[in-house]
Structure 1
Amino acid sequence: MPLCKIRRDLMKKAQIISTIILLLSMLFCLTSCMKGITSPSIPRVERPAIYVSIEEDGEPKRITIFCETGGASIYYTLDGSEPTNKSTKYTEPFEVHKDLTIKAKAFKKDMKASDTEYRVLYFQAAAVIIDPPAGMYASPLTVTMECPTEGVQIYYATDGNWPTPESNRYDGPIVLNSNTIIRAMAYRVDWSIGKYSDQRYGVVNTNFETVLIPAGSFNMGRTKGDGWTHELPVHNVSLNSFYIDKYPITQGEYQLIMGTDPDFDYMADAKKPVNDVSWNHAIKYCNLRSINEGYTPVYSLFGSTNPADWGDVPELGDVSWDSVVCDWNANGYRLPTEAEWEYAARGAQNYPDYLYSGSDALQNVGWYFNNSENLLQDVGTLSPNSLDIYDMSGNIREWCWDWFDEAYYANSPSDNPKGPDSGEYRVLRGGYWNERKIHCRVSARSYHPYPFVTGFGNGFRVCRTAP
């Protein structure tokens, strides 16, 4: 057979085979498309819904699961695993009592299983109730804690941190003797950490320390160094014995007696001197403290020694408060006279003749501009003078009884001087944390406009006449 004929026959057979393959492919595609049109897709069961009851903290939660697909069976797990039709079957609402993750899935014959629904549940105890409320209290202070949620353990911290189950366990009342912030929470195994509670307590030692100043004489006024003319002339003064507080009145002590703290900048810090106090506030404090400790009040106003009869301390001028009378024979607390203050600051002696209370180096005995960082400091943190009295130079200016008169020293009595009979300003002594050295000398005299005016550097300490 000729070669060309053989070639033609092969080409015809190849064309026939290609046509057959093409027809078969078209038939396959057509069949697939028709099957998709004529065969319906398998429906999917609706995703179940999980409902959790709203309960009080720590109460069991009631779980209800529902599926809108009729006849579907619901299966669930409580360990976070994926549910199958071999998992626990849901038949009725149930309760759970601990933290967990619930997952649910619905199944029905001839239908695709639903998508998985889940809920994460947390259990938490109610906030711990700490009693008494935050505030300033006398030492020792007993504090109790309780939680409304049953079956929990309370943990607390007093170091400024938030408590954990590794913190102190509360087993009964605790006693505080110093400023403390208590933070507490309640916890149970398999529960989340409970809500935090905290209370801030200022705890004040009410055993006020006083120093007996012996009777004696001293040279009053600027005995050395630079200063102002109203510190002159130096003159000799004789004083009877008296008691004076070892420290300025602190914010904690003031709030315990007065029920409020006027220092809005520093809030109530039990160990810092009270400041922003007017002279009128100071005399009210004296009588209240005298009554509180069973002494005879010294000051009388409007015919009464009971500050409850005086009304509110005036914030504006009220000349009627200038009529306050001092009973020098009463044994209650009072502001020191200017002479008593300087005598105590000098250590009840003429020698050594220190510039400041207890030293010629102010940084050793007083807080002032150069070392305070412009901050009021805790009392008693630097050295005392020879009588063991603290903070008479710097930290806080201190009110005295006397009216201020620049020329008073030229006419002052030598025996127990009590200042002029009247005036416009009351005397302040000692300087404060943001003043220069010259203001903190034992002889430096200062004053403040009107007794009713407060000042952020003004505080006080009190004294009592000795028997």
Structure 2
Amino acid sequence: MRRKSILLVLLFFLAVCAAHAAELKNEKARQEGNRLVITYDLEGKENEAQVNLILTVDGKTCKASDLHVEGDVGKVRTGRGKRISWNILQDFPRGLRSGVDWELTTAGEAFTDSVTGMEMVFVKGGCYRMGDTFGDGYADEKPVHEVCVNDFYMGKHEVTVGQFRKFVQDTNYRTEAEKGDGCYIWTGTKWVKQRDKNWRNPGFSQRDNHPVVCVSWNDAKKFSEWQTRKSGKDYRLPTEAEWEYAARSGGKSEKYAGGNDVDAVAWYSKNSGSETHPVGQKRPNGLGLYDMSGNVREWCSDWYGEKYYSQSPRDNPDGPSSGSYRVLRGGSWVYIPRNVRAADRGWYIPEIRNNYFGFRMALSAR
């Protein structure tokens, strides 16, 4: 977040606070008579994106539509030289003596990571009721509590075999399964750890567009660190609160990620054929994210706390400060419907690997 100040000669001072998403560039503010003018460039591969302007005046938050604002706000075509103009005196005839904050964001757009080809979808932050809102969950999903998260980006898909291969080829990284005693696989009757099983050979056929499996939390963390170094962007695993908010299409009342019809959105025990499937084949959720229910269980950044929901902070919770287990979310190809719900919580030691655990990347928008 960058802070800029301009002095307007309308008996008030504007302290400009521009918080922007990754595709907004060169934001500037200046006075033109009785107007505040904001200019910016909107970069991206899409033809257009939603640009939102929020102004806070005397502690009251206003949308652009609430004020005499005109110009490049709302649906805006990508390009340079965009301009927004606010006629302040039409809304405040006597001028202002207090500070005014403004926040310019883009919503709903995606960008493609140049290193991996990974598509990242912008998730507008907000508040929601996290936990077992349908009343059919487990004890650790209670109490239902209000959580607020900041803007962030989430991977459109789970990290794929092909994307993970780029990491391995660039670093010569060996996963914990490869260095250790293999990966757990499902034999049809029980879980067995086999020394020759790993992300290259998980016990079923995979192509580059399948979600990578047999990766531990530690392996996922190493991938995120590599992607950060190569791209210059701070990639990471999502927090558990971010994950559920994104899975539920921005905190909506959805049992599964994208609605209440499990077969429409998820590969799970009944329809998976006991294996992963290429990413993006089921219906996406309301944010355009795929496979957040089913296909593979996804590592989150948090330590797991069984009672954490009763003590979680409201704003941007990131789990207990320490623990023995890391959180997993989303269910998998081997799970029953109850365990691919958006509110369902899983946990394992960070070193564990099996052929239904994977992950997806997140990125803060500020």
TM-score range, shorter chain: 0.5 to 0.7
The aligned residue for residue 228 of structure 2 is: 290
CA distance in 1, matches of 2:243, 2:251: 13
Contact between 1:290 and 1:333, CA under 8 Å: does it hold in 2? yes
Q: Which of the pair has more CA radius of gyration?
A: 1
Of 458, 461, 464 in structure 1, the residue corresponding to residue 357 of structure 2 is: 458
* Structure-to-structure mapping, 1:14-163, within 5 angstroms: none
CA distance in 2, matches of 1:413, 1:456: 34
Of 319, 331, 334 in structure 2, the residue corresponding to residue 419 of structure 1 is: 319
CA distance in 2, matches of 1:334, 1:241: 14
CA distance in 2, matches of 1:241, 1:274: 27
CA distance in 2, matches of 1:363, 1:231: 23
Of 330, 333, 349 in structure 1, the residue corresponding to residue 235 of structure 2 is: 333
The aligned residue for residue 294 of structure 2 is: 394
Q: 1:454, CA displacement in angstroms?
A: 1.1
CA distance in 2, matches of 1:432, 1:438: 11
1:213 and 2:123 aligned: yes
CA distance in 1, matches of 2:363, 2:338: 29
Q: Unpaired segments of 5 or more residues in structure 2?
A: 1-113, 175-197
Once the two structures are superposed, what CA deviation does each residue of 1:66-103 show, in whole Å capped at 9, x if it has no partner? Answer: xxxxxxxxxxxxxxxxxxxxxxxxxxxxxxxxxxxxxx
Of 249, 252, 258 in structure 1, the residue corresponding to residue 162 of structure 2 is: 252
Q: Letter of the aligned partner of 2:360 in structure 1?
A: R
Q: 1:349, CA displacement in angstroms?
A: 3.0
Q: Letter of the aligned partner of 2:358 in structure 1?
A: G
* Structure-to-structure mapping, 1:187-202, within 5 angstroms: none
- Moved runs in structure 1, 4+ residues, more than 4 A? none
Query: Would you tell me which structure has more strand in proportion to its own residues?
Result: 2
Q: 1:294, CA displacement in angstroms?
A: 2.6
Contact between 1:393 and 1:440, CA under 8 Å: does it hold in 2? yes
CA distance in 2, matches of 1:215, 1:429: 19
Cα gap change, 1:367 to 1:267, in 2 (>3 Å): closer
Contact between 2:116 and 2:166, CA under 8 Å: does it hold in 1? no
Q: 1:434, CA displacement in angstroms?
A: 1.0
CA distance in 2, matches of 1:291, 1:357: 31
* Structure-to-structure mapping, 1:158-169, within 5 angstroms: none
Q: Unpaired segments of 5 or more residues in structure 1?
A: 1-203, 296-331
Contact between 2:160 and 2:211, CA under 8 Å: does it hold in 1? yes
Q: 1:418, CA displacement in angstroms?
A: 0.5
Q: Letter of the aligned partner of 2:249 in structure 1?
A: G
Q: Letter of the aligned partner of 1:291 in structure 2?
A: R
1:238 and 2:148 aligned: yes
Q: 1:292, CA displacement in angstroms?
A: 1.6
CA distance in 2, matches of 1:466, 1:209: 15
Once the two structures are superposed, what CA deviation does each residue of 1:361-384 show, in whole Å capped at 9, x if it has no partner? Answer: 110000000111112101000100
Q: Letter of the aligned partner of 1:418 in structure 2?
A: D
TM-score, normalised to structure 1, is 0.47
Q: Letter of the aligned partner of 2:339 in structure 1?
A: H
Q: 1:268, CA displacement in angstroms?
A: 5.6
Contact between 1:252 and 1:268, CA under 8 Å: does it hold in 2? no
Among all aligned residue pairs of Structure 1 and Structure 2, give the percentage whose two residues are the same amino acid. Answer: 42
Contact between 2:124 and 2:150, CA under 8 Å: does it hold in 1? yes
TM-score, normalised to structure 2, is 0.60
Q: 1:404, CA displacement in angstroms?
A: 0.8
Aligned residues: 225
The aligned residue for residue 275 of structure 1 is: 213
The aligned residue for residue 277 of structure 2 is: 377
SS of the equivalent of 1:289 reads helix
CA distance in 2, matches of 1:453, 1:417: 24
Q: Letter of the aligned partner of 2:352 in structure 1?
A: V
CA distance in 1, matches of 2:258, 2:302: 24
Contact between 2:302 and 2:326, CA under 8 Å: does it hold in 1? yes
SS of the equivalent of 2:128 reads strand
Contact between 1:404 and 1:426, CA under 8 Å: does it hold in 2? yes
Contact between 1:347 and 1:357, CA under 8 Å: does it hold in 2? yes
CA distance in 2, matches of 1:434, 1:225: 23
CA distance in 2, matches of 1:288, 1:341: 21
Of 187, 190, 199 in structure 2, the residue corresponding to residue 262 of structure 1 is: 199
SS of the equivalent of 2:327 reads strand
Once the two structures are superposed, what CA deviation does each residue of 1:249-283 show, in whole Å capped at 9, x if it has no partner? Answer: 00110111123672412466201000111000000
Contact between 1:358 and 1:385, CA under 8 Å: does it hold in 2? yes
Cα gap change, 1:205 to 1:416, in 2 (>3 Å): closer
Q: 1:225, CA displacement in angstroms?
A: 3.9
SS of the equivalent of 2:275 reads coil
Q: Letter of the aligned partner of 1:272 in structure 2?
A: H
Of 328, 337, 343 in structure 2, the residue corresponding to residue 443 of structure 1 is: 343
Of 256, 278, 295 in structure 2, the residue corresponding to residue 356 of structure 1 is: 256
